[in-house]
Structure 1
Amino acid sequence: MREERPIIALDFPTFEEVKVFLEKFPEEEKLYVKIGMELYYACGAEIVRYVKNLGHSVFLDLKLHDIPNTVKSAMTVLAKLGVDMSNVHAAGGVEMMKAAREGFGPDGILIAVTQLTSTSEEQMQDYQNIQTSLTDSVLHYAKKTAEAGLDGVVCSAHEAAAIHEVTSQDFVCLTPGIRPAGADVGDQKRVMMPRQAREIGSNYIVVGRPITQAANPVAAYQAIKGEWNGQEELPSHH
């Protein structure tokens, strides 16, 4: 199972900027977008309703991490917004993840964050005092996520193949930090191109700035979507 649409990270600070961005796309082009903390905390549930009313799919990226009962209650609220996907921190534990699943219900895709893509192995060992390799930590969290009945994990594309091996082929690997060839990697430590992510086994990819800050976001989106779906790149007419 692979989502053919790259998920666009709507990393904008205001509602107005989201509207301006989405209005650039033709009405019939139904997108899959990620609403993260900045936007959700600025605009609240209204932003989710607005995007859903346009017919787009929504990944609400809030990375919940709290006691099981609190997470269950919060997920119940988020599920009522009709979001298609949401997430928690795997570090919250199996009981918390099970509670999240109960609150979110069986229909939406619920995934967990293993290690953030901005975390290096050295930082993990130092700050978290997890004395294994970064890969071992990620695989351990992925197995616990599957055990809790969640659909998958957020992971670096470098880990997708190994995660599928220790869980199952239909376990979702969602990969952020995707950049088209030649793009600036920004603050992410572990990045990859759409074509590589597809070959390695990512099920969903998240792309932000290469689309949202492009001179022509629609063209940038279509190019990345083409690459993600294995279409040969057309010769450019410059």
Structure 2
Amino acid sequence: MSISPRDRLIVPLDVPSVDDARRIIDDLGDSVSFYKIGYQLGYAGGFELAQQLIQDGKDVFMDLKLLDIDNTVEKGVGSIKTMGAKFLTVHAYPKVMRAAVAGRGDSDLQLLGVTVLTSMDDEDLDAAGYRMTAAELVAKRAADARAAGMDGIVCSAQEAQSMRAIVGPDMAIVTPGIRPIGSDAGDQKRIMTPARAIAVGADYLVVGRPILGAPSRSDMAKSIIDDIAVALGKR
């Protein structure tokens, strides 16, 4: 993929208000071109902010993790595709993904299948009733995503290299749980540094708290982008 290092960094606007989000966007300025909006901000005016960001030339990742009956998912994606967002997530259940692909139609919206949340490990999956490891479930859902005609998957960077062999060269691999050296893992369990994640095959990195909590958000973002550029040169 011919994607610049800057465009591979996705900053999540996981804050409670649009005013909070705008302060982050102002702090980051031109250092960041790609933002993720999820439930917390989405329900607090984030959909309107997403459209404003798109009008300002930014890329937007709508992290809604849709999961519902086929008709509801298809119609929901049909509505979202008019926003102009770049990415939209759905849970990587085969029927859900096929419905999302039908709803997307021939629009430019790219659909990502969420395999296993990076906050979950084997013990969590066992407690939820899954009789396979996180790696095994990610692999199954990645294969299902490819078969459904999805544009990419969301998985831990720890699985990126093995998933590339499953999804092929053209599907995007988006990895949350990215932590620069010295950063706190927080509630993430399957984590990796930015440079290592790129080196093993991730296309896009979602980096939240290390940037949002930094003394200089723009400097931290630029440092991560520099790490991405170095790693791309070695890949």
**Partner residue of 2:109?**
108
Structure 1 or 2: larger helix share? 2
Is 1:139 paired with 2:139?
A: yes
**Partner residue of 1:54?**
56
Tell me, in whole angstroms, the C-alpha distance in 2 between the residues paired with 1:134 and 1:42. Answer: 32
Is 1:191 paired with 2:191?
A: yes
Superposition misfits of 4+ residues, deviation over 6 angstroms:
none
Shift of 1:43: 1.1
TM-score for both structures, normalised by structure 1: 0.91
**Partner residue of 2:177?**
177
**Partner residue of 1:118?**
119
Shift of 1:30: 5.6
Change (3 A) 1:231 1:175: closer
**Partner residue of 1:37?**
39
Tell me, in whole angstroms, the C-alpha distance in 2 between the residues paired with 1:156 and 1:37. Answer: 20
Shift of 1:167: 2.4
- 1:80 pairs, out of 57, 66, 82, with 82
Q: How many residues align?
A: 228
Change (3 A) 1:30 1:157: closer
* CA RMSD in angstroms, aligned pairs only: 1.7
Tell me, in whole angstroms, the C-alpha distance in 2 between the residues paired with 1:137 and 1:2. Answer: 29
- 2:66 pairs, out of 64, 67, 87, with 64
- 1:8 pairs, out of 8, 11, 19, with 11
Tell me, in whole angstroms, the C-alpha distance in 2 between the residues paired with 1:25 and 1:191. Answer: 24
Question: Partner of 1:23: helix, strand, or coil?
Answer: helix
**Partner residue of 1:236?**
none
Tell me, in whole angstroms, the C-alpha distance in 2 between the residues paired with 1:204 and 1:197. Answer: 9
Shift of 1:16: 0.5
Q: Is the 8 A contact 1:2 1:203 kept in 2?
A: no
Tell me, in whole angstroms, the C-alpha distance in 1 between the residues paired with 2:28 and 2:112. Answer: 28
Identity of aligned residues (%): 36
Q: Is the 8 A contact 2:35 2:59 kept in 1?
A: yes
The superposition leaves residues 130-171 of structure 1 with CA deviations (integer Å, 9 ceiling, x where unpaired) of 212221111001000110000111000110111111221222
**Partner residue of 2:21?**
18
The superposition leaves residues 107-129 of structure 1 with CA deviations (integer Å, 9 ceiling, x where unpaired) of 222111111111110121221x2
